[in-house]
Structure 1
Amino acid sequence: MMQISIDQAEGLERTVNIELAAEDIQSKVDEKITELGKEVRLKGFRQGRVPKKILVQRFGQHARQEVLGELMQNSIEKAITDNELELAAAPEVTKTDDADDGGFVFSAKVELMPQVPEINFSDIEVEKEHADITEEDVEGMITNLQKQKQDWKDSKGKIANGDLVTLDYKASNKDLTYPKKDTEHMGILMGESRIPDDLKKALTGMKSGEENSLEVSFDDAFNVDELAGQKVKFEFTIKEVKKAKLPKVDEEFVKSFGIESGDVEKLKKDIKNNLSRELKQTVDNRFKQKALEALRSQCADMPLPESMVRRESEYMAHQEQQRAKQMGHDDAPLQEASKYEAAAKERILNSLIIQKIAKKQDIKTDFTKVREQINEIAQTFEQPQEVIQMYYQNQELMSSVEQNVIEAQVMDWIESEVKIKKNKLSFDDIMKPKVNE
């Protein structure tokens, strides 16, 4: 008769010890030999007439190995089920041994899922931002659309914000002269390009053809490698100044964005709807981050399965490498998984918290919301019906949407339970947060 015992190791690890009885093993081996005898063909014997003794000699060891594999799998599953163990990863067999009486003993290491502690949601306060979409926000977006189609005209006037400036320069200090010979070109979009403040101030008000020289400190992230992190004497000549000429917001302009009627008010309405959708998504995401951060603090002492942390860290490292390759860095190295361990732990803990809430509150996927989300995604493409069809035919895409929906439903429940601290901001304050946030 099979015997099972479980030893508690460190943290979430357990060792399952199983002893398989000799008679159980032999019974299964005999069954396998009998089945084999019905099919096997050996020279000198008719099919199904090979003596059992010969079958055992030829196939007995192989049959025993197959039986042991099946019994080990079944016995581990029984141990897990009978002891109500919820595993974080597949069991790992760590020890095997044949018993003197023909039995078999083995041990398997398992790692359990942690138990998320009870959380008192009513004691938690989470900030949630909100904003109104104003006419200024809509007009600002229209200006951005105009800039996408703007023309550049040569200018003899003074340089101001928004101008496109081309200059020739030479930079030097006691350790550096760049370039070694002649001068180098630099293009600057005033107010947009990342340049030192001293250089921006010097350029403002200058005209094409004028020269200047000043001390400039470039930060480490400056896009000219030779100048990054350097303090230099910067000598330059303004070679060209161009000012932007924005197109008129008229019927032709509106039609260029796919609105066949050319109706400016229709464009404004579409812009406002898009801004509202983007605002809601950003507000929801930021609330989710803050809420989950507060909930994680309630689970600070909860151990996480090392196997899950390792897998998630490795997955994140591969994701980062793939992103780099998609951006053209074909030789991007695979970073050490340990670099992503802290972020991996946050992801895992977030997932465990969401899963526990969904299970405890019996929150099921709302498939009406799944359809709504797919339709919303599709509307951002030129052929929405094709996108909708693609989603419904791809189980991986559908699973991703369903996961997003169940998470959103859980976040709605969390919002209804915690204390909400409302914070009204402008659209720009929410959509373009300060760098130090």
Structure 2
Amino acid sequence: MQVTLETTSNLERKMRISVPSERVETQVDAKLKQAAGQANIKGFRPGKVPMREVKRRFGDGIRQEVSSELMQSSFSEAIVKEEVSPAGSPVIEDVTMEAGKDLEFTAIFEVFPEIELGDFGEVTVEKPAAEITEDDLDAMIEKLRDQRKGYAEVDRVSKADDRVNIDFEGFIDGEAFDGGKGDAADVVIGSGSMIPGFEDGLIDRSAGEEMDLELKFPEKYQSENLAGKEALFKVKVNKIEEQELPDLNELFFKQFGVEEGGMEAFRTEVRGNMGKELEAALKSKVKEQVFDGLIAITGVEIPKALVSNAIDQMRQEAVQQFGGGQNIDPSVLPVEMFETQAQKRVKLGLIVNAIIEKLELKTDDDKVKSVIEDMASSYEDPEQVVNYYYGNEQQLNQVQNMVLEEQVVDSVLEKAKVSEVEMPYEEAIKPNEPAAEDPAAEGPADKEPVAEAADGEADAPVGDEGEDSA
């Protein structure tokens, strides 16, 4: 086998490979003989089909199959021989595939870049520090009560925070529009699940009351055919319900696994969970600053193939997260939505791998075990969860990679400029805002008209009720 390698740019390589015809014909003949023994052709006894007939019927297809297999195997041999590491699958061009001639083809591919790491001392990190106060604990308990609130029907006019059950239908220029009708839809006043003005129009209403709401869709609206248009909504209020928060009693505590010990044990349990959340949030903020710092001090030319692969992966993730179980083709999501974040993801991956190689970091098995046991501790049967992770190679690899990333972060922090910044608990656990210029941070627009997604309430109106819904 002959191989020539040409460097066409910093990362692109062009490889010409020639496979001797003897090797090709040997494999073609072997497959032809195999086909002759298996062929079932009218007019011939099984296994007695003449070779000329087998070649006539199957020769071209078999040669195509053999050539494809040889191109894959010879490319693998060639990159080992030339000591190159492709960053993606090659593009195959200029294929010569004729009987009696050498199999020749050109493979064009990108290689992984050589990375020169910057000075970790130039990385600046503001390490957040926060404590959980009694006020923070009280606020969390109220939040937990709110998450488990119920609703009870009342005989009065509606007010903010009430849940109203309504029938409605929207019209533009006197014509009903798709997705503009809902029957027996629950709307929480003040939830922001409806277009501006809709929920305000439900205040001070009585059960059985009918009304017309003259509203205007926002200029920037996910459904372009509705954006900026004036609409009339005919609404009927079916019933009004007010919030009912659960009492802090034994029944409530049991929902969080606290079987005994009353309020004191419940507060201890909640504080413990808040502590875990706080620890994870603080680590995440530090990790993000370290990674941003590494990107800033390290110049990396990234292979287009890796970015393309990352975009495909992020498309899949977006469909899983926002697709609502629908069968959506990820390729319909525009590349521009993910390109910036994909480039950052690839660049960071290359830098982290370079650090692991340079510092010869190995996964800390004790730390992996500690992480798995910590995650398992919140389950009813921790041992079963631990066994699941160690019995599932993919899940175990994810934890190992996470621990290895933490080891990279720790290595950088040893040399970085680190200062401590005090902050309240609520600010500490709040995720950092995504960069405004990052289209991927916005996510795909998949919400229904009018209803902008209300958590378990009216996802609603213009959307999911009956045959008239969009």
Alpha-carbon contact 2:67-2:97 (below 8 Å) kept: no
Q: What do the CA deviations read for 1:86-124 (whole angstroms, capped 9, x no partner)?
A: 32135565456699x997766443421112232122223
State the one-letter code of the partner of 2:189.
M
Match of 1:266 in 2: 265
User: Could you give the per-residue CA deviations for residues 104-163 of structure 1, whole angstroms, max 9, x where no partner exists?
Assistant: 766443421112232122223244434322222222222233234434233456755433
Task: Say which SS state the counterpart of residue 405 (structure 1) adopts.
Answer: helix
The answer on whether the counterparts of 2:319 and 2:328 sit within 8 Å (CA) in structure 1 is no
- The structure having more radius of gyration, on CA atoms, is 1
User: 139-148 or 82-91: which moved more?
Assistant: 82-91
Give how far 1:309 is off: 2.3
In 1, Cα distance between equivalents of 2:419 and 2:90? 45
Report how far residue 356 of structure 1 moved: 0.7
Which deviates more from structure 2 when the two are superposed, residues 332-341 or residues 241-250? 332-341
Instruction: Tell me the CA shift for residue 240 of structure 1.
Output: 3.8
CA distance in structure 2 between the aligned counterparts of 1:225 and 1:17, rounded to whole angstroms: 51
- Which residue does 2:246 correspond to in 1? 247
Match of 1:146 in 2: 145
Q: Deviations over 1:292-329 (max 9, x none)?
A: 233324445x332232222232233233334455x232
Q: What is aligned with 2:447?
A: none
Corresponding position: 1:312 with 2:310: yes
Residue 332 of structure 2 aligns to a residue whose secondary structure is coil
TM-score, scaled to structure 2? 0.68
Three-state SS of the structure 2 residue aligned to 1:429 is: helix
Tell me which residue corresponds to 1:86. Answer: 85
Q: Distance in 1 between matches of 2:288 and 2:316?
A: 23
User: Which residue pairs with 1:403 in the alignment?
Assistant: 401
Q: 1-side partners of 2:433 and 2:97: how far apart?
A: 64
CA distance in 2, matches of 1:91, 1:202: 60
The SS at the match of 1:364 is coil
Distance 1:132 1:211, change over 3 A: farther
Q: Provide the C-alpha distance between the structure 1 equivalents of 2:25 and 2:239, rounded to a whole number of angstroms.
A: 89
SS in 2 for 1:417: coil
Contact 2:213 2:235 in 1 (8 A): no
SS of residue paired to 1:277: helix
Alignment of 1:271-350 (within 5 A): 271-299=270-298, 302-325=300-323, 327-331=324-328, 334-336=331-333, 338-339=335-336, 340-350=338-348
Structure 1 residues 102 and 198: CA distance shift in structure 2, 3 A: closer
The DSSP-based 3-state class of the residue aligned with 2:351 is helix
Seen in structure 2, the aligned counterparts of structure 1 residues 208 and 76 have a Cα distance that, compared at 3 Å, is closer
Letter in 2 for 1:163: D
> Is the 8 Å Cα contact of residues 130 and 423 (structure 1) preserved in structure 2?
yes
Per-residue CA deviations over 1:322-355 (Å, capped at 9, x if unaligned) read 4455x23235664257343333222211111110
Q: Distance in 2 between matches of 1:183 and 1:84?
A: 64
Paired residue for 1:381?
A: 379
Return 135-144 or 366-375, whichever deviates more.
Answer: 135-144
Q: Secondary structure, in 3 states, of the residue corresponding to 2:371?
A: helix
Judging changes above 3 Å, is the alpha-carbon distance between structure 1 residues 216 and 419 closer, same or farther for their aligned structure 2 residues? farther
The answer (yes or no) to whether the contact 2:258–2:269 under 8 Å persists in 1 is no
Matches within 5 A, 1:4-403: 4-17=3-16, 80-81=79-80, 83-90=82-89, 94-95=93-94, 107-156=106-155, 159-166=158-165, 175-176=173-174, 187-195=186-194, 206=204, 208=206, 216-219=215-218, 229-232=228-231, 240-299=239-298, 302-325=300-323, 327-331=324-328, 334-336=331-333, 338-339=335-336, 340-403=338-401
Q: CA deviation at 1:398?
A: 1.0
- Whole-angstrom CA distance in 1 between matches of 2:142 and 2:321: 31
**Which amino acid in the other structure matches residue 10 of structure 1?**
S
Question: Residues 378 and 335 from structure 1, CA distance in 2 versus in 1: closer, same or farther, beyond 3 angstroms?
Answer: farther
> Could you tell me which amino acid in structure 2 is paired with residue 270 of structure 1?
E
Distance 2:69 2:246 in 1: 74
Q: Distance in 2 between matches of 1:293 and 1:193?
A: 34
Measure how far apart 1:427 and its partner are.
2.7
- CA-based RMSD of the aligned residues comes to 5.0
Residues 324, 332 of structure 1: 8 Å contact kept: no
The answer for unaligned runs of 5 or more in structure 2 is 30-36, 38-58, 436-470
8 A contact 2:152–2:243 mirrored in 1? yes
Q: Does the CA contact (< 8 Å) of 2:250 and 2:259 recur in 1?
A: no
**Partner Cα separation in structure 2 for residue 343 and residue 361 of structure 1:** 27
Q: Quick check: 1:178–1:226 contact (8 Å CA) kept in 2?
A: no
Q: d(CA) in 1 for partners of 2:154 and 2:347? A: 57
CA 1:421–1:161: 2 relative to 1, 3 Å: farther
Q: Percent identity?
A: 26
- Matched letter for residue 332 of structure 2: Q
> 1:374 offset after TM fit, Å?
1.5
| Counterpart residue number, 1:415 | 413
- CA pair 186-71 structure 1, distance change in 2 beyond 3 A: closer
Q: Could you tell me how far apart the structure 1 residues matched to 2:68 and 2:231 are?
A: 72
Provide structure 1 residue ranges, at least 5 long, that are not aligned to the other structure. 34-40, 42-60
Q: Which amino acid aligns with 1:253?
A: F
Whether the aligned pair in 2 keeps the contact of 1:165 and 1:189 (CA below 8 Å) is yes
What SS is found at the alignment partner of 1:390? Answer: helix
